[in-house]
């Protein structure tokens, strides 16, 4: 017959075993996310692993999958009805922002279809899309209602980000859609200044002319 003490020891061993098992599953899960191992991810999810779990740096699995450009794991996570598509990381970034930064039109569209927020306070998916090399993502976000002149915490607009980091066709697209080239950020810089900072003198001249 099990005494109270032996029962306590047994329960402690069981809890310790569960703790080790969960720790192993945690490591396996995020290793599988990074390597696009959808089989392992699906197996762990079927056993009850939380698809919204975050790694030690606070990055959620969907954000990591999109950052790693892991399409199989991304699809596996998006198939989960309990997935939080707008989960933010410690930097305030959402999975849609990462998809936009990667210039991935398919995942941007699928995240929007799952209800991911297009407009938000601070940095937005449009800012991130404008920094990428894919104008089609910018066009999609604008078509779905993205605020074209939304301001980041530093006062940057999507046009400024495109002028500094993005593709020139994105700059032209934003201008054609009505982006305001006259706006300035917290450092008193406009889109032309941002283009000039990247050595894009011809683009800077065009933006400066537009701003007049």
Q: In CATH, what number is assigned to the domain containing residue 47?
A: 1.25.40.20
Q: Look up the domain containing 185 and give its range.
A: 95-212
Can you tell me the mean pLDDT for 201-209? 97
Domain assignment present for residue 65? The answer is yes
Do 51 and 124 sit in the same domain of this protein? no
Do 78 and 106 sit in the same domain of this protein? no
Q: How many CB atoms lie within 10 A of CB 68?
A: 16
> What pLDDT does residue 35 have?
97
148 or 14, higher pLDDT: 148
For residue 172, what are its two tokens? 């032209």
Do 8 and 39 sit in the same domain of this protein? yes
At CA 88, angle to CA 138 and CA 173, rounded to 5?
10
Do 105 and 132 sit in the same domain of this protein? yes
pLDDT band at 15 (very low <50, low <70, confident <90, very high): very low
Distance separating alpha carbons of residues 57 and 108, to the nearest angstrom: 24
Do 171 and 74 sit in the same domain of this protein? no
DSSP H/E element including 78: helix 71-78
At CA 108, angle to CA 46 and CA 134, rounded to 5?
140
Can you tell me the mean pLDDT for 43-71? 96
pLDDT in tens, 135-163: 999 999 999 999 999 999 999 999 999 99
Can you tell me the mean pLDDT for 158-170? 98
Q: In sequence order, what are the residues at sequence separation of 6 or more whose Cβ sits closer than 8 angstroms to the Cβ of residue 160?
A: 183, 185, 189, 190, 191, 194
Q: How many residues does the chain have?
A: 212
> What pLDDT does residue 10 have?
46
If one counts the domains in the chain, the total is 2
């Amino acid at each position: 017959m099990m005494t109270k003490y032996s029962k306590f020891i047994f329960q402690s061993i069981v809890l310790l075993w569960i703790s080790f098992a969960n720790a192993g599953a945690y490591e396996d899960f995020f290793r599988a996310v990074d390597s696009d191992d959808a089989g392992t991810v699906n197996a762990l999810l079927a056993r009850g692993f939380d698809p919204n779990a975050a790694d030690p740096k606070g990055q959620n699995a969907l954000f990591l999958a999109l950052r790693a450009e892991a399409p199989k794991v991304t699809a596996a996570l998006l198939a989960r009805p309990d997935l939080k598509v707008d989960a933010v990381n410690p930097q305030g970034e959402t999975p849609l922002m990462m998809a936009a930064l990667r210039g991935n039109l398919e995942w941007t569209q699928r995240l929007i279809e799952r209800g991911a927020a297009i407009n938000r306070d601070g940095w937005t998916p449009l800012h991130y899309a404008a920094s990428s090399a894919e104008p089609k993502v910018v066009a999609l976000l604008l078509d779905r209602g993205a605020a074209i002149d939304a301001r980041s915490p530093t006062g940057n607009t999507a046009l400024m980000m495109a002028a500094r980091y993005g593709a020139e066709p994105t700059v032209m697209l934003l201008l054609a859609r009505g982006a305001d080239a006259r706006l300035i950020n917290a450092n008193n810089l406009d889109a032309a200044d941002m283009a000039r900072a990247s050595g894009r003198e011809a683009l800077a001249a065009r933006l400066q002319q537009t701003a007049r």
